[in-house]
Structure 1
């Protein structure tokens, strides 16, 4: 690994930690340079703008998301797609709770506007890829005849995401234990409704 690449990766590690604690919008070249013990000009040379820095942090966060959520679920030796989806949800919820119940991706989300930043474009693509991945797993469960043939993967994913958003809100209002319990109660009922005989 080149020295430049190593330095950039170190910057992104620190930036990810800061953004996790205080939100992506709080991330500035000045504060990050201070935390990395670098000059502003030295750090600026790696990204050229705050917008590019934020986009790079979102890309970096997405790589961590894949390593913390998708990769472990693939290693869980699930015997069917119901187990695979539950494993994904387990790791997904842990991802959320690692930010004190305040998912970095959700906190960084902004409504669509004409002048969309690079960070928002990267963020929305990352979330779209995750939703598509969930839809594919549900679709495979249908193909495997675990779930009803008339189940719509996109709608099922929409409902799962709604429960994740609810867990996100309940964590901030009622704490992790109640949020987690309600999330899994909802997931159990939802997945049961996907099955042929429920």
Structure 2
């Protein structure tokens, strides 16, 4: 039996090189996108440009342009990346909660937690709405689509809470969604712009009032059972 050739044939090497090249290109694009997301969080989508991004990551403009053919394409990619991270941190963990008020609470509390982290940077959904509210185009469309997807998830959670009997039959789903979103907008404004102490606590009180107003007795019991117990005073970290 003849020995195997020490070097693979050129026909086998070429696909490997292509695969490595593609992988490297994907990694470079991901790194650029991560930097772009950080820049947009602080400066807004309008403050995002290929030139500013290239300077930030010490890369040529042509190198960035090769991955994002235009500033608009870069902005849309950032919106989609932000939404993907939002889903990972807020939506996917919350839908593991029991249907009804426990799941709705999980969605809201994780939403608040993300906003609290973004106080020193910014929420692209909120800043983008200010920047593009009256500017039709693909970037605005991308923002609207992402926010609608999130509102759709909240809407479904509220509907499910009604269906399992945790919210009153007469509860207005659209109104509850409006009130929850209003709390988040107020939190972002007071915490980030006004630097108002206690904004996070007020957002929590607001949610509890919504629950008390719309919930049924069975909903309140399910919500109370699902709440995580607070650590004992002696166990809290200093």
**Conserved 8 A contact 2:116-2:200:** no
Q: Given the alignment of the two structures, is residue 131 of structure 1 paired with residue 151 of structure 2, yes or no? A: yes
Q: Secondary structure at the match of 1:99?
A: helix
| RMSD (Å) for aligned C-alpha atoms | 1.8
- CA deviation after TM superposition for structure 1 residue 57, in Å: 0.5
Map 1:21-40 → 2, pairs under 5 A:
21-40=42-61
- The residue aligned with 2:9 is none
SS in 2 for 1:100: helix
Q: Residue 5 of structure 1: which of 17, 26, 34 is its match?
A: 26
- Residue 182 of structure 1 aligns with which residue? 202
* 1:93 pairs with 2:112: yes
Q: Is the 1:18–1:27 Cα contact (8 Å) retained in structure 2? A: yes
Paired position in structure 2 for 1:45: 66
5+ unaligned residues in a row in structure 2: which ranges?
A: 1-21, 221-238
Contact 1:97 1:103 in 2 (8 A): no
- Measured against aligned partners, the alpha-carbon deviations of 1:99-131 in whole angstroms (never above 9, x if no partner) come to 216322100112244xx2322111110000111
Which of 165, 183, 195 aligns to 1:163? It is: 183
Query: TM-score w.r.t. structure 2 length?
Result: 0.76
d(CA) in 1 for partners of 2:77 and 2:148?
18
Q: Residue 80 of structure 1: CA displacement? A: 4.7
The aligned residue for residue 111 of structure 1 is 133
How far apart, in 2, do the equivalents of 1:196 and 1:97 lie?
Answer: 30
Deviations 1:66-109 (A, max 9, x none): 0111122234xx34521211111111112212221632210011
Q: What TM-score, normalized by structure 1, do the two folds share?
A: 0.90
- The answer (yes or no) to whether the contact 1:21–1:99 under 8 Å persists in 2 is no
Number of residue equivalences: 193
Where do 5+ consecutive residues of structure 1 fail to align? none
Runs of 4+ residues deviating >6 angstroms: none
